[in-house]
Amino acid sequence: MLLAIDIGGTKIAAAWVENGQVIERRQQPMATDPVGFMEVIGQLVLGWPAPEQVAVAATGYINDGKVHSVNQEIIAFWDGFPLADRLTERFACPLILMNDGQAAAWGEYQARQTTVSQNSPDNLLFITLSTGVGGGLVLDRQLRIGPHGLAGHVGHTTVSCQPTDDDLRCGCGRQSCLEKIASGTALGRQASAMFGRTMSSAELFSLALTDPRAEAIIDNAAKAVAEAISNLHMTLDLSEIVIGGSVGLADGMLHRIRLALANAPNLMQVPVSAAMLGPDAGLIGIMQLATNVENSVENSVENS
Ligand code: ADP
Ligand code: ZN
């Protein structure tokens, strides 16, 4: 039995996998402290057989089996938390651990290799618009992780678009990060400031159907994503951009990003598609990496 886990800023998903097939998938809210976190892990696997292997995709950058939030406001205890050690102690079996955006990029890249109707891209950028904004890069058919585990952290590249509430300061220490405009957290924050009451990103999307002010917040976020895509395309020369995460997959978001990108010069046009694996890109990606650790991965943390 392979246990695949995807840890985000809002939720943790887990899958019981046998011979590459998901037997059962479960989801729980993400915890706010290490003790609560291990309890949630326990609840997720309740009644499942002991795993022979654990595959973990986690938000944050990973170094030496420890996780660090780039934006400390998202998971405060992700400050060098020894995730690989904690899970190895808990499950006593080999474990692989990777950033969630990187795992998702690999999942989406693989999904495009097996879909005959598509030209499989050699250079793919995955962007997740979720609690934060993350991502992953496959370049020349190789998943990039980087010497600091940072490859694909596009949420902390800056954009010239400004958040509608003018709150520029990002929890990573910079100003004007993409994450500050286009994450679910940022959309909820901008909506709350605009409408004078606490609003979630999902509520904002519903309101945008009837209220142009709500629509403007989402459009501005889409413009910021398109700006980041143009920047990254001119840096890396990409074949395809894949958008995932609950915000990225929310109704109309992909369309808005495409419209915004269409205003960029021709050279900066690059196909943008939705995650074929939907919200499970990270979960499926890490599951594939665990079952098929080819030499396509530059390096990943492996504890055994
Ligand atoms: P995680 O960050 O844990 O991987 P998600 O990809 O689900 O999880 O992203 C969570 C973020 O997406 C939260 O900020 C939440 O408010 C927002 N969100 C969840 N559902 C929706 C929706 N249907 N439409 C827009 N935003 C959503
Ligand atoms: Zn930042």
pLDDT at 232: 98
**Ligand index nearest the alpha carbon of residue 171:** 2
CA 214 – CA 180 distance, rounded (Å) = 17
SS3 labels along 57-87: EECCEEECCEEECCCCCCCCCCEEECHHHHH
**Residue with CA at minimum distance from ligand 1 atom 21:** 202
**Ligand index nearest the alpha carbon of residue 199:** 1
First and final CA of the chain: distance in angstroms? 16
- Tens digits of per-residue pLDDT, 32-81? 999 999 999 999 999 999 999 999 999 999 999 999 999 999 999 999 99
CA of 11 to the centre of ligand 1 (A): 9
* pLDDT score of 300 more than 60: no
pTM of the model: 0.95
Which of 131, 246, 256, 280 to mutate to test ligand 1, by most ligand atoms within 8 A of the CB atom?
A: 246
Q: Let me know whether 127 and 256 are in one domain.
A: yes
**Residue with CA at minimum distance from ligand 1 atom 27:** 202
Ligand 1 first shell, C-beta below 6 A: 8-11, 130-131, 184-185, 188, 200-202, 205, 245-247, 250
Q: Let me know whether 294 and 192 are in one domain.
A: no
Q: Let me know whether 291 and 212 are in one domain.
A: no
**Residue with CA at minimum distance from ligand 1 atom 4:** 8
Confidence of residue 82 (pLDDT cuts 50, 70, 90): very high
Q: Let me know whether 205 and 259 are in one domain.
A: yes
267-291 in b/e form (b: 16+ CB < 10 A) is ebebebbbbbbebbbbbbbbbbbbe
Q: Let me know whether 242 and 294 are in one domain.
A: no
pLDDT at 292: 75
Tell which residue, 168, 209, 212, has the closest CA to residue 189: 168
- Tens digits of per-residue pLDDT, 150-166? 999 999 999 999 999 99
Other beta carbons less than 10 A from residue 206's beta carbon: 14
Q: Let me know whether 137 and 262 are in one domain.
A: yes
Residue 44, domain CATH: 3.30.420.40
Q: Let me know whether 162 and 16 are in one domain.
A: no
* pLDDT score of 293 more than 60: no
Domain containing residue 47 = 2-100+280-303
Q: Let me know whether 125 and 208 are in one domain.
A: yes
- Tens digits of per-residue pLDDT, 260-282? 999 999 999 999 999 999 999 99
Q: Let me know whether 244 and 107 are in one domain.
A: yes
**Residue with CA at minimum distance from ligand 1 atom 7:** 246
CA of 112 to the centre of ligand 2 (A): 30
CA of 300 to the centre of ligand 1 (A): 27
Q: Let me know whether 150 and 62 are in one domain.
A: no
**Ligand index nearest the alpha carbon of residue 29:** 1
Q: Let me know whether 261 and 286 are in one domain.
A: no
* pLDDT score of 177 more than 70: yes
What is the share, in percent, of the chain residues with pLDDT greater than 90? Answer: 92
Q: Please count the structural domains in the chain.
A: 2
Confidence of residue 247 (pLDDT cuts 50, 70, 90): very high
pLDDT at 114: 74
Q: Let me know whether 65 and 90 are in one domain.
A: yes
**Ligand index nearest the alpha carbon of residue 12:** 1
